[in-house]
Structure 1
Amino acid sequence: MEFSSGDGGRSGGNDVELLSKTLQVEHKLFYFDMKENPCGRYLNIYEKTSATRETIIVPFNGIAWFFDIFNYYVTSDDQR
């Protein structure tokens, strides 16, 4: 697993990129871009392949809930 800074995301419209990180897990490459626009801050998570781009957009106030769900799966996997 490799986690690094990157410029994977591209800003569009009034969106301002605040932070960009890239995570590589096995053959998968994920981009995490913290952005801000007139509606507020949000986390843009996506996986880009040569043919497609799958995106999840999480409002800033939902990031902690996302973290809780990911943590649940990590800890439940340890209990098996």
Structure 2
Amino acid sequence: MSSEKPNLHSYFRSSCSWRVRISLNWKGIDYEYCPVDLLEGAQKKKEYSKINPYPTLKIDGNVLCQSIAILEYLEET
């Protein structure tokens, strides 16, 4: 893993986001939480629309979307 801190972009009420946060915490991975407020339409802003509307984790130079793909990556690395 790289020394750069992973960034998790997600909405706090999302069950997918909860799965990813639980896994990151369980594995002891320090990450930066970047909130995306869906009620305010933050997912439509230019800087976020380049990423994805799903929980997105930037880690080791990769951008991973979808909680299952993120969990699989965390388990394998």
Q: TM-score range by the shorter chain?
A: under 0.3
Structure with max Cα Rg: 1
TM-score, normalized by length of structure 2? 0.26
**Structure with the greater relative contact order (CA < 8 A, sep ≥ 6): 1 or 2?**
2
Structure with more helix by fraction: 2
Structure with more strand by fraction: 1
